[in-house]
Structure 1
Amino acid sequence: MEEAKTIKILICDDDPAFCKLVRTYLRSASEREFVLLEARRKVEIQDALDKGGIDLILMDILMPEKSGMEWLEEIVKKKIAPVVMLTGFGSEEIAVQALHKGAIDYIPKDHLSGDRIVGTIKAALEAWKRKQMEAEIKKEKEFSENLIETAGVVIVGIDLDDNTILCNTKTEEVTGYSKEELIGKNWLKLVYPVATRREEVSKNLKSCLDGAQVKAYDAVITRKDGGERILSWDTTSLKDAYGETRGILCIAQDITERKQLEQELKENRDYLESLIQESPTAILSTNLSGNVVVVNKSVEKLLGYKGDALMGKPVSMVISGHGDLEIVDKKDFPLDFVKEDGSKIPLNVSTSVQQFKGEPRGLIVTLKDLSELKGLFITPVSEVVVETEMKYRLEQGSMYLVEEEKPEKSFDVFVDSVKHGRPGLYISRQNPAIVREKYQLEKTPDIWLTRNKIPEENCIGPDELVKLYKTIENFVGQADDGVILFEAVEYLVIQNGFQPVLKFIQSLNDVIMVHPSRLIVVVDPLTLDVREMHILKRDMKTIP
């Protein structure tokens, strides 16, 4: 309160003589300028309170219509102004009750003096000011505490001995400890039981105490249940009113899920890179400048270069004539490449523009050996014809489905055909030598579906569907009234998936329909679901 400020006082008393006495005393107080408002009746008091601007109220306990105690409760509740009660003789007990109800002080009327009333008013105003400041401080403290408590981040305060002095609900949630279990306990030992982790965090806290600027750092804490969480910490020193450091305030975000996601993304990225590296298809990638940025093992095998020899080099160095590849999507075009030994190799090339955020970033290039895409050329040969009647008569240009766990009936049908002069070809997972001996097939050619390359055998890998298709196409194009047995559908489905194999079989059907041959497909019905079997059956006939 400034000294020059006019103090407006409302005196509520129904005794005019007493009010006049109070006014006289206040006028004599030269160090203050007091303005005294008088109110004797209920309506006058209410009107003065409603107008506001009152700095202090002198309230007689014994007021007509509405007692002084009732007015006190209302004024205190509304926080209008400080109240000093005026009491008569023998009213000290009531005055004490008034103090409990919020009055700042009281003045016995029979002990009234100029010094007493001025002194009481001054003390009451100072007490009121102090009370308001305390209320404001309390409000700010409650706001700060509520802000800390409801914050969505971990907030921990520790003293110079690393003991916890404050923490919020989020800290309880993340650590699994209650506040009672945290407050007063050594924070570092509690949540960093692993010595190496504790020492590393302790260094950061010490640097903060020494005044150094500590960057945000990640640290793994151990929860009460033994689980671990990854937190990103920011720290700042706690100082008292004299600027002395008293502890450290630590604020952290739980980034466990984010770190786990980053790890999953890295693992997925590594997995995709491994898929590219291990892919049986030769794959390389270039940037927009045409320099090689990715080379897989199949490219190394196909061209004879080591990956490091091509990385960062223009792709034109391995293209015959040093031509460049256009940054466009383009499928299946022939192009001669140059191997490491200088020889040329004709390749089937497909390019796809790699996009990033809608902008071209480079080119993905797949390479296939044209000689492999052409398939094997197997000459149709007939077995020695037996002089018996043919048991199974299969229509030309048709595909037949045989459902059986082991290829027994299907081989009977196939052997019946080839023994009666039809040139045949069987495609199997079985060792051809065993099949030849078992069914006495001395001339009938075969294809062994295996990743192995066996000398003197026609071997095709299970993922070389194009090569297998071309081989069968070549065969039926040459065979007159031929027959083919294909008994490795399940193997191809396992290696390639059902949809690619279905497309493969449907493509074979297109070829068979326009040639005078027939194809027998063997499937174990227990290896496919009902829908898949139904799709296969739709374009095939059954053998009677």
Structure 2
Amino acid sequence: MIENGENIQVEVRKYQKPIKILHVDDDEDFLKITKMYLEKHTNRLFDLHTTTDSLKVESMIEKYHYDIILSDYDMPEMDGLTLLKTLRRTQDIPFIILTGKGREEIVIQALNLGVNYYLQKNHDFKTLFTELSHYIQQIVETKQKENEIEKLSLVVEQSSASIVVTDINTKIEYVNRKFSEVTGYIPIEVLGKDVSILKSGLTPHETYKSLWKALLAGKEWEGIFLNKKKKDELFWVQSRISPLRNTKGETTHYISTHEDITQRMEMERELTKIQDQNKAMLNAIPDLIFYMSKEGRILSYKGSQNDLLTDSPDILGKLVNEVLDKEAAAKIMFYNQKALQSGEMQCYEDVIKMRDGQLRYYEARVIPSGKDTVLRIVRNISDWKFAKKELEQANILLKEKHSQFEQILNAATPLKVVSNEFIITHVNDDYCSLFQVKKEEIIGKNCFDEAIPQCFTNKCPLKSSDKSSFKQGSNLKSSVETFMKVSPYYNLNGEINGYIESFES
């Protein structure tokens, strides 16, 4: 793994499995001595198998999967070089040859066949086994490193993040499988190319400036790029780039990991858009909005200082009893708790007396939000309250006027009320008595169609094109000696709203 961008550290496993060794020699005594020495004089666990028959080696390897083959050179069935040649066709197991002969041609032949080490038996046993132990140790350590490197390679290759290794001139030397999946480039298309092949031109210049400032200082850098795929499709990556150093401390490569965050960025952008829309809608709402904890702490709010009814310049984070009077705070806490306990919205109205003595009316809706918080939506309904009060007073006055009008209409004089469209809207009892009609028979009818008496039809002052001639009242005598007087009545704008006809016998 990479630590601080300075080097690569491979964790060596603490538990070491026994090393499986197959010793092949036609000398049984030498087999026993070798096994005894290795088990007694080394600090490593060995699982040492022996055989005097070199023809059995392949089947034993297939069964036990040995880590090392230790073989004598001179054996009757198959000599060590022939065995090595046979195994190298299918196996790559480390191979050590022990021989009592030190001819140069044998050594060269063994090396050409791929032997790992070559030891002569004519040394004293102590020297021989010391060298043998050393060679075995080297083989084991090399194998372990190869295994760890292989595991590390698998981790890198199968990583869920794209991994890129470049030289100090940013030429690509390695990309993993995920890189190809994300970008669409196969390794052969990018190896040797500059990493700028991924540049979209849309990443801010400051990002690259920050990157190189960190890398040239030998530090790790982390940031976001807007890159371009092989097919020119844009994608976002969260990147971490580190310098790699050799044993002299010199930077030789850069290794970078890139996580495709395109979906996350799109979601964040959509979320920001929604938040902006919600903010715009909230700002368009004249209501006060508070987000409170169950303890009454104001977590967030929307509203002007004038509407908040408090002298505190900053109420955020404060308890409601710290910014409002005791009575108002108690009522707020009561409905907050009621909403949390019931899980239902609570609505109520409140009135607050201002410093100038005026009353301000509010309607509050308390909505539970989770187990420990509430949303309070508070609307100033003062204008509505005052308008309602004025309307109620106007209705009272209207009823009084209507009562007075009814009294006038029901006076001991036959009366008929006609609209501007000459529709009969009202007649009193004396009118019905004088002309022997019922109210329901003529109300709603055109006054000229239902003229009573009929002689008024053509002589009615309402037929005149100049209505001003009877604004103060006009008299008309009928053949039955009945006089009709027509007077206009007006609306609040001074316009004629209809006519009142009175009759005298």
Q: Which amino acid aligns with 1:140?
A: E
Q: Which amino acid aligns with 1:144?
A: L
- What is aligned with 1:510? none
- What is aligned with 1:259? 265
- Mapped partners of 1:290, 1:92: distance in 2: 87
* Compared CA separation, residues 173 and 419, structure 1 to 2 (3 A): farther
- Mapped partners of 1:110, 1:222: distance in 2: 64
3-state secondary structure, aligned to 1:181: helix
For residue 378 of structure 2, the aligned residue among 365, 373, 387 is 365
For residue 176 of structure 2, the aligned residue among 168, 171, 177 is 168
* Compared CA separation, residues 137 and 418, structure 1 to 2 (3 A): farther
- Mapped partners of 1:78, 1:320: distance in 2: 86
Q: Which amino acid aligns with 1:333?
A: E
- What is aligned with 1:350? 364
Q: Which amino acid aligns with 1:174?
A: V
- Mapped partners of 2:139, 2:274: distance in 1: 63
- What is aligned with 1:283? 288
3-state secondary structure, aligned to 2:156: helix
* Compared CA separation, residues 11 and 91, structure 1 to 2 (3 A): closer
- What is aligned with 1:243? 249
Q: Which residues of structure 1 form unaligned runs of 5+?
A: 1-7, 14-18, 27-32, 38-51, 62-66, 389-416, 422-441, 446-454, 457-544
- Mapped partners of 1:74, 1:291: distance in 2: 71
- What is aligned with 2:240? 234
- What is aligned with 1:201? 208
For residue 272 of structure 1, the aligned residue among 264, 273, 278 is 278
Structure 2 residue 338 is matched with structure 1 residue 331: no
For residue 83 of structure 1, the aligned residue among 55, 67, 71 is 71
- Mapped partners of 1:337, 1:244: distance in 2: 77
Q: Which amino acid aligns with 1:82?
A: L
CA shift for structure 1 position 295: 1.5
- What is aligned with 2:229? 223
3-state secondary structure, aligned to 2:164: strand
Whether contact under 8 Å (2:220, 2:243) holds in the other structure is: no
CA shift for structure 1 position 367: 1.9
CA shift for structure 1 position 347: 2.5
- Mapped partners of 2:102, 2:51: distance in 1: 15
- What is aligned with 1:147? 155
CA shift for structure 1 position 193: 3.6
Percent identity of equivalent pairs:
15
* Compared CA separation, residues 286 and 143, structure 1 to 2 (3 A): closer
The correspondence of residues 291-440 of structure 1 with structure 2, limited to 5 A, is 293-295=301-303, 312=314, 326-329=332-335, 331-336=347-352, 338=354, 344=358, 346-352=360-366, 355=369, 358-360=371-373, 363-368=376-381, 369-372=384-387, 384=419, 386=423, 419=444
In our comparison, the structure showing a higher alpha carbon Rg is 2
* Compared CA separation, residues 262 and 195, structure 1 to 2 (3 A): closer
Q: What do residues 170-227 of structure 1 show as CA deviations (whole Å, max 9, x unaligned)?
A: 222333322233332211x12224176466335424423422464x323322222333
* Compared CA separation, residues 362 and 68, structure 1 to 2 (3 A): closer
Q: Which amino acid aligns with 2:156?
A: I
3-state secondary structure, aligned to 1:349: strand
3-state secondary structure, aligned to 2:211: helix
* Compared CA separation, residues 202 and 134, structure 1 to 2 (3 A): farther
- What is aligned with 1:398? none
- Mapped partners of 2:228, 2:171: distance in 1: 17
3-state secondary structure, aligned to 1:86: coil
- What is aligned with 1:159? 167
The correspondence of residues 427-506 of structure 1 with structure 2, limited to 5 A, is none
Worse-matched range after superposition: 97-106 or 238-247: 97-106
3-state secondary structure, aligned to 1:272: helix
- Mapped partners of 1:351, 1:219: distance in 2: 46
The correspondence of residues 51-62 of structure 1 with structure 2, limited to 5 A, is 59=52, 61=54
Whether contact under 8 Å (2:74, 2:80) holds in the other structure is: no
Q: Which amino acid aligns with 1:149?
A: E
Q: What do residues 114-172 of structure 1 show as CA deviations (whole Å, max 9, x unaligned)?
A: x9434697787666554443332222112101111222223222221112222322222
For residue 121 of structure 2, the aligned residue among 108, 117, 124 is 117
- Mapped partners of 1:88, 1:110: distance in 2: 19
TM-score by length of 2: 0.52
Q: What do residues 496-518 of structure 1 show as CA deviations (whole Å, max 9, x unaligned)?
A: xxxxxxxxxxxxxxxxxxxxxxx
- Mapped partners of 1:125, 1:155: distance in 2: 40
Q: Which residues of structure 2 form unaligned runs of 5+?
A: 1-20, 37-44, 107-118, 336-345, 403-416, 426-441, 447-487, 494-505
3-state secondary structure, aligned to 1:327: helix
- Mapped partners of 2:269, 2:310: distance in 1: 27
* Compared CA separation, residues 136 and 337, structure 1 to 2 (3 A): same
- Mapped partners of 1:259, 1:418: distance in 2: 74
- What is aligned with 1:402? none
- Mapped partners of 2:57, 2:326: distance in 1: 109
- Mapped partners of 1:291, 1:97: distance in 2: 80
Q: Which amino acid aligns with 1:364?
A: I
* Compared CA separation, residues 81 and 106, structure 1 to 2 (3 A): closer
Q: Which amino acid aligns with 2:227?
A: I
3-state secondary structure, aligned to 1:82: strand
Structure 2 residue 186 is matched with structure 1 residue 178: yes
Q: Which amino acid aligns with 2:176?
A: N
CA shift for structure 1 position 309: 9.8
Whether contact under 8 Å (1:164, 1:185) holds in the other structure is: yes
- What is aligned with 2:438? none
Structure 2 residue 146 is matched with structure 1 residue 133: no
- Mapped partners of 2:218, 2:243: distance in 1: 8
Whether contact under 8 Å (2:166, 2:172) holds in the other structure is: yes
- Mapped partners of 1:71, 1:290: distance in 2: 80
* Compared CA separation, residues 80 and 327, structure 1 to 2 (3 A): same
- Mapped partners of 2:282, 2:206: distance in 1: 43
Whether contact under 8 Å (1:99, 1:105) holds in the other structure is: no
RMSD of aligned Cα (Å): 5.4
CA shift for structure 1 position 36: 7.3
* Compared CA separation, residues 383 and 257, structure 1 to 2 (3 A): farther
Q: Which amino acid aligns with 1:155?
A: I
TM-score by length of 1: 0.48
CA shift for structure 1 position 420: 5.3
